[in-house]
Amino acid sequence: MTPSSQLIAAVRHHQAGQFEAAERLYREVIAIDPSDVHALHLAGVLAHQTNRNAEAAELIGRAIALDDRMPDFHYNLGLALWALDRREDAAAHWARVIALNPDHAEAHMNLGNALREQGRLDEAVTHLRRALQLKPSPFAHNNLGLALGAIGDAEAVAHYRRAIEMHPGFLEPHLNLAIELAAAGQNDQALASVRRSLQIKETPENKDLFVRIAAALDAVGEDPGLRHLVTRAVSEQWGRTNELIPLIAILLRHGSAIEPLMARAEAGVAGKDLLGASDLAIMAGEPLLQWLLESAVVTVFALEQILTAARALLLDPVTTASIDETMLRFVCALARQCYINEYVFAVSDDERASADGLGNRLVTALDSGAPADAFSVAVVAAYRPLHELAADALLARTWPAPLVAVIDQQVLVPRAEAAARVTIPQLTAIEDDVSRRVRDQYEQNPYPRWTSVGRVRKYASIDALMQQEFPHAPFQRIGKDGSLDILTAGCGTGRQAISVAQQFEHAQVLAIDLSSASLGYAKARTQALGIANIEYAQADILQLGSIGRSFDMIQAGGVLHHLADPWAGWRVLLTLLNPGGVMHVALYSEIARRDVVAARALIAERGYGATIEDIRACRAEIMNQDDGSPLKRVMAFNDFFTTSECRDLLFHVQEHRMTLPSIKAFLGENGLRFLGFELDVRPKQRYAARFPDDLAMTDLDQWDAFEQDNPYSFMSMYRFLVQKGAA
């Protein structure tokens, strides 16, 4: 067989999908004639098709070295280079295709997408428009929409809609349309778009987007379909489901079985007048309430009032004479909620005496081997953690599944925390007086007591994260893959460290904190989740300069403002950040926390201490304030609704609050580039409406003006990213 006939046979095998035979023949042709550019090129194409992109780039590169004027050679080499994450090299070859053949639609498309990723948006739009002219398709409309959306051009919406018209089953434009509509404040339409995408195909991306958009809804009408999707989202962990808690409160308040109870609580009815025995069965049958109790802190005042009254009712034998499986599951869920919020609910003296009596009788029965019913165990667990009782006797018995979950939460998990705590090494000394006092606070009250991180979006690199989450930011690409070194400074109970370890699966994460109790909590949950790329250690940020390590990313979320000198601590962390590295920072806002300042003044005036009894008393006084009072507005902070978080919010031994001008000055002094805030959809929408020219949303002077007029925009802290200058 001649080389030409071998090449023809190879192409036929290739076209038929018979890759092994095709490759053998291509190799034979190349062995006979190493300068056969077509054999080199097609062998490279086959290598690319079988995910051997380095080999593909080498083969096609040899063909181009022999003949530089073949557009398809450059086009396919670009595909291989793109797969190898050599983005700029790929774009250069697609530009060469267009120079050789200006009507090559695919090259215009790919080059446009590459330029969009590089932030060269006007050029990207030019090439993508040309691609659409040459070869109209839903994919061309979608890609042009992405580029137009990146420059804030409302024309993007029309292209997404056209892509959907041409190909209703094409998922991506549905999602892009939803994102664009949400950014424009059209949340109802955005939600409708993402719901249509879910009907086509459920994916991690549209499930996550559903959670994000649904969480931004301020009000909903009677919509059983939405209620069903929200119930699925929380039960199946579609995304950061804690963000749905305000929406769940709306759904419980309107159209749910417990709507009348919510209305009574909001009208000020409390205690025994709020609900009766028949209402317990109604509450037990509400699935969204069940999820909320088991999975997240209840942060709605009316719901707290209802649950406090329900717990008291459970102590009345007449009220609970008949307990079925549904009621037992509800009582167990309430017990789990009380453990999550660290028994922050108010309790009267008579109620406490009844609960203690029930607990004493339970311990006697367990110790003596006498019968003990699951309902009584669950009620006791709603007032005190089971690890304080006859824990071994509890573990030795067989219980219904709902109670097993309570025992696991209140006995086995605390034991795992204690075991993990003694294994934590000390990385640095803790000598600073403020650091020691902060450590002591968190040894008593590890913060926060979370239950789930939700579904975490994964990224191949920091570059990929920035492209996805902050596409307009003035970010300089790092060019490093997911094998990153990451520091979580002040990791607390580990939620942030676990999230970033899941985001970047090949990263190595060092997570440090002052508190060994918090670290034990974090390590136990890390082990339970099977995560192996986090190293925990006890250390003081002020001493980290001595550890001899550097990092590609540093997280300092909610920790610097508890140091004696936040700016000094920040500068220490910057010495550990690699050139070009990214830092995530979260700091208290002076403006957003002015009501907290008022509450702290009340605490000082009353002489409240940081005990559970005084925290409850302080909360009761705040909850009884008139609506509109600065003190009452403290209840808008989610931290108000658990013991350790309320202590962190109102009783902290050390707190600094910052302003945007002071942060801007620090960034300038230390050569840091501001990349953008992490914010909910609604404040971003309001900012974009006021400052439409700041597409990247990085003008801190404009943000300062915005915050002056919208003082509660940063209640959850200033959360933002910065980048260190290159070496």
Residues 646-690 have pLDDT tens digits of 999 999 999 999 999 999 999 999 999 999 999 887 888 899 889
Residues 631-652 have pLDDT tens digits of 999 999 999 999 999 999 999 9
Residues 462-474: what's their mean pLDDT? Answer: 89
Residues 427-448: what's their mean pLDDT? Answer: 91
Question: What pLDDT does 246 receive?
Answer: 86
Question: Does residue 453 sit within a domain?
Answer: yes
- Does 600 lie in the same domain as 580? no
Residues 701-723: what's their mean pLDDT? Answer: 96
As a whole number of angstroms, the distance between CA 538 and CA 544 comes to: 11
- Does 298 lie in the same domain as 393? yes
Question: Does residue 667 sit within a domain?
Answer: no
Given a cut of 70, whether residue 321 has pLDDT beyond it is no
Given a cut of 60, whether residue 83 has pLDDT beyond it is yes
Chain center to CA of 386: 31
CATH code for position 127: 1.25.40.10
Domain count, the chain: 4
Question: Does residue 101 sit within a domain?
Answer: yes
Question: What pLDDT does 320 receive?
Answer: 65
Question: What pLDDT does 454 receive?
Answer: 72
249's tokens: 């409160």
Given a cut of 90, whether residue 54 has pLDDT beyond it is yes
Given a cut of 70, whether residue 142 has pLDDT beyond it is yes
User: What are the C-alpha distances in Å from 89 to residues 109, 125, 268?
Assistant: 16, 20, 67
Residues 527-545: what's their mean pLDDT? Answer: 95
Query: Pairing relation of β-strands 672-677 and 577-587?
Result: unpaired
Residues 323-346 have pLDDT tens digits of 789 999 999 999 999 999 999 999
Given a cut of 90, whether residue 627 has pLDDT beyond it is no
Residues 412-438: what's their mean pLDDT? Answer: 94
Question: What pLDDT does 249 receive?
Answer: 87
As a whole number of angstroms, the distance between CA 678 and CA 469 comes to: 9
Portion of the chain with pLDDT greater than 90, in percent: 77
CA atoms within 13 A on the CB side of 146: 26
Q: Are 582 and 553 in contact (CB under 8 A)?
A: yes
Residues 385-420 have pLDDT tens digits of 999 988 899 999 999 999 999 999 999 999 999 999
Residues 483-531 have pLDDT tens digits of 899 999 999 999 999 999 999 999 999 999 999 999 999 999 999 999 9
Domain's final residue, options 650, 674, 695? 650
- Does 379 lie in the same domain as 279? yes
Beta-carbon count within 10 A of 364 CB: 12
Return the sign of the alpha-carbon dihedral for residues 438, 294, 639, 602. negative
Given a cut of 80, whether residue 2 has pLDDT beyond it is no
Rounded to two decimals, the pTM is: 0.81
Question: Does residue 279 sit within a domain?
Answer: yes
Q: Is 579 helix (H, G, I), strand (E, B) or coil?
A: strand
Q: Are 302 and 346 in contact (CB under 8 A)?
A: no
Domain's final residue, options 616, 631, 650? 650
Given a cut of 70, whether residue 3 has pLDDT beyond it is no
- Does 147 lie in the same domain as 41? yes
Question: Does residue 705 sit within a domain?
Answer: no
Residues 576-623 have pLDDT tens digits of 999 999 999 999 999 999 999 999 999 999 999 999 999 999 999 999
Given a cut of 80, whether residue 453 has pLDDT beyond it is no
621's tokens: 């006084």
Residues 229-265 have pLDDT tens digits of 999 999 898 988 888 888 998 898 888 889 899 999 9
Question: What pLDDT does 727 receive?
Answer: 63
Domain residues for 377?
233-418
Q: Are 128 and 112 in contact (CB under 8 A)?
A: yes
Chain center to CA of 315: 39
- Does 474 lie in the same domain as 403? no
Portion of the chain with pLDDT greater than 70, in percent: 99
Write the secondary structure of 406-422 as one string of H (helix), E (strand) and C (coil): HHHHHHHHHHHHHHHHC
Given a cut of 70, whether residue 560 has pLDDT beyond it is yes
pLDDT band for 72, please (50, 70, 90 cuts). Answer: very high
Of the ranges 1-5, 99-103, 211-215, which is most confident? 99-103
As a whole number of angstroms, the distance between CA 646 and CA 637 comes to: 9
- Does 524 lie in the same domain as 604? no
Residues 150-188 have pLDDT tens digits of 888 889 999 999 999 999 999 999 999 999 998 888 889
pLDDT band for 317, please (50, 70, 90 cuts). Answer: confident
- Does 105 lie in the same domain as 170? yes
- Does 598 lie in the same domain as 583? no
- Does 358 lie in the same domain as 449? no
What values do phi and psi take at 680, rounded to 5? -65, 165
Strand partners of residue 720: 585, 677
Question: Does residue 464 sit within a domain?
Answer: yes
More confident residue, 630 or 134: 134
- Does 262 lie in the same domain as 143? no
Q: Are 127 and 115 in contact (CB under 8 A)?
A: yes
- Does 239 lie in the same domain as 383? yes
Question: Does residue 684 sit within a domain?
Answer: no
Question: Does residue 580 sit within a domain?
Answer: yes
Domain's final residue, options 603, 625, 650? 650
Residues 466-487: what's their mean pLDDT? Answer: 89
Question: What pLDDT does 49 receive?
Answer: 93
Chain center to CA of 228: 22
Strand partners of residue 721: 584, 676
As a whole number of angstroms, the distance between CA 438 and CA 513 comes to: 10
CATH code for position 486: 3.40.50.150
Mean pLDDT of the chain: 92
- Does 392 lie in the same domain as 360? yes
